[in-house]
Amino acid sequence: MALKITVIGTGYLGATHAAAMAELGFEVMGLDVVPEKIDKLRRGEVPMYEPGLEELLRRHVAGIEGSTGRLRFTMDWAELGEFGDIHFICVNTPQRHGEYACDMSYVDSAIASLAPHLKGPALVVGKSTVPVGSADRLAAYLAEHAPAGADAELAWNPEFLREGFAVQDTLHPDRIVVGVRSERSEKLLREVYSTPVEEGSPFVVTDFPTAELVKTSANSFLATKISFINAMAELCEATGGDVAKLAEAIGHDDRIGRKFLRAGIGFGGGCLPKDIRAFMARAGELGADQALTFLREIDSINMRQRGRMVELTRQALGGGAFLGKRVAVLGATFKPDSDDVRDSPALNVAGQIHLQGGQVTVYDPKGMENARSLFPTLGYAGSALEAVRGAHVVLHLTEWQEFRELDPAELGEVVADRLVLDGRNALDPEAWRRAGWRYRAMGRPGA
């Protein structure tokens, strides 16, 4: 009999995972505790912007014309427990307010709500990013609270999807990592992932702590690469070097690699910043904080870039206060191809300049609604051209393709002063200079 899969939590991770599981041929039921989310998903609407996800969802959600009907949504734990053989926990683990540690309350309450409804044999699989040691604790909880006949087991299967590439990363992952305690769990997870494994995704079987650590260490490594290149950008600025050339040159060494070496205003979003902080907090609890003191520096280099961008803007405008200066900001999301503005470096820079008296106008292709609700006092425009009109300086802060394709000559017609600062090192300096702009970027010699 074909496996039936449930997905608990239908945010970024859960909505994508549920649709991907249906795409792989399984019968899937998703659960969320927020009724509006469930209503939207039942209509085949995605609660956030993610390329390809809506199409994938609509292909499978029951009740949508022409769909396979393999994907359903519920808010009822009993229905979910009755339905599923394998239950994926995909709820979020945000940073605790005012602390570094991560908030496990959504994971804990998902397991607590699910446990009494499990029917045997059941496998509960954690996908959320959690502090190492959580799986151990949750397995003990399940053993105590699942019905005796449910024969419930836990496994840990971290998720590495990137926003903007969520569908591709879920259907064709770089690797699948499973932390298991029994052959039965491993066998079931091999069955779930048989298609991507046949297509070449490596399948790494390990214990609980290693599976949990793979996720946090991968994110720490990525954050380290970005802060490393941003530190080099500071050195380039101090010496007249060019960080873009430097990144290209060191990236040719296979051991270093070219990816994640784009200098600029640094990393943000719902994952990297909070994951490295939660990792440090957990190391402290384990008495291993010295091993991760370097992450404190990674975090502080990262946060410093936002202030450096503000200073670069101030200097480029001739120094002094921002009062009376019109500043166009291109980009609000923490990265392109997403509408996510959580801990967005772009909005942080825009907000700082606004607080210092600058008249800021923001445009973003997909993040306007979220940006407006987070920073209602900033100015907003309906297009890049409109944002730029009359500006004394243009800041490029999120590297959308739309901004790469802008015509600098056309924009040059509507500005007070042709001055562009590239906070993402992603525009073509020569094209902008040819159109009469002063182009400056972080870590590069400027005009």
Binder among 141, 160, 193, 203 for ligand UDX (CB under 6 A): 160
Least separation, in Å, of the C-beta of 225 and ligand UDX? 7
Judged by CB under 6 A, the number of residues near ligand UDX is: 19
| Coil vs helix vs strand at 8 | strand
Q: Provide the minimum distance between the beta carbon of 76 and ligand UDX in the complex, in angstroms, as a whole number.
A: 30
Report CA 65 to chain centroid distance, whole Å. Answer: 32
Torsion of CA 113, 117, 122, 127, to 10 degrees: -20
Binds ligand UDX (CB under 6 A): choice among 56, 135, 261, 292: 261
C-alpha separations of 253 from 220, 229, 256 in Å: 21, 15, 5
Is residue 331 close enough to count as binding ligand UDX by CB under 6 A? Answer: no
- Please, which residue, 85 or 364, has the CB nearer to ligand UDX? 364
Catalytic residue among 90, 102, 236, 271: 271
Of the pair 255, 259, the CB lying nearest ligand UDX is at: 259
**Counting beta carbons within 10 angstroms of the beta carbon of residue 320, is it exposed (0 to 12), middle (13 to 18) or buried (19 or more)?**
exposed
- Of residues 18-77, which lie at the interface with ligand UDX (CB under 6 A)? none
Interface region with ligand UDX, contact rule CB under 6 A, candidates 81-89, 159-167, 356-364, 428-436: 159-167
Q: At what angle do helices 293-316 and 272-285 cross, to 10 degrees?
A: 150
Based on the shown chain and the rule CB under 6 A, indicate whether residue 308 belongs to the binding site for ligand UDX: no
Contact 26, 192 (CB under 8 A): yes
Stretch that binds ligand UDX, among 41-49, 75-83, 263-271, 356-364 (CB under 6 A): 263-271
Q: Quote the crossing angle between the two packed helices 208-239 and 272-285, to the nearest 10°.
A: 120
CB 372 within 8 A of CB 329: no
Using CB under 6 A, which of 88, 279, 334, 363 touches ligand UDX? 334
> What stretches of 181-319 show up as alpha helix (H) in DSSP?
183-192, 194-198, 208-239, 243-251, 272-285, 293-316
Is residue 181 within 8 Å of residue 153, measured between CB atoms?
yes
The residue from 272, 309, 360, 362 that contacts ligand UDX (CB under 6 A) is 272
- Rounded Cα distance between 358 and 326, Å, is 6
Residue 294: count other Cβ atoms within 10 Å of its Cβ.
13
The one segment of 16-24, 81-89, 99-107, 258-266 that binds ligand UDX by CB under 6 A:
258-266
The C-alpha atoms of residue 65 and residue 38 are separated, in whole angstroms, by 18
Candidate residues 57, 152, 161, 301; the one interacting with ligand UDX per rule CB under 6 A: 161
Is 102 marked active-site? no
Stretch that binds ligand UDX, among 57-65, 70-78, 158-166, 188-196 (CB under 6 A): 158-166
Q: Least distance to ligand UDX from the beta carbon of 399, Å?
A: 7
Exposed, middle or buried: residue 319 (CB in 10 Å: 0-12, 13-18, 19+)? exposed
Span from 36-44, 73-81, 117-125, 259-267 in contact with ligand UDX (CB under 6 A)? 259-267
| Pick 208 or 334: Cβ nearer ligand UDX | 334
380 binds ligand UDX (CB under 6 A): no
DSSP string, 396-434: E-S--HHHHT--HHHHHTT-SS-EEEETTS-S-HHHHHH
The least CB distance from residue 260 to ligand UDX, in Å, is: 4
- By CB under 6 A, the residues from 213 to 242 that bind ligand UDX are 219, 222, 226
**Position 163 contacts ligand UDX (CB under 6 A):** yes
Figure out which of the listed residues 162, 258, 296, 433 binds ligand UDX, where binding follows CB under 6 A.
Answer: 162
Interaction of residue 203 with ligand UDX, rule CB under 6 A: no
Contact set with ligand UDX (CB under 6 A) = 160-163, 219, 222, 226, 260-262, 264, 266-269, 271-272, 334-335
Please list the active-site residues.
271
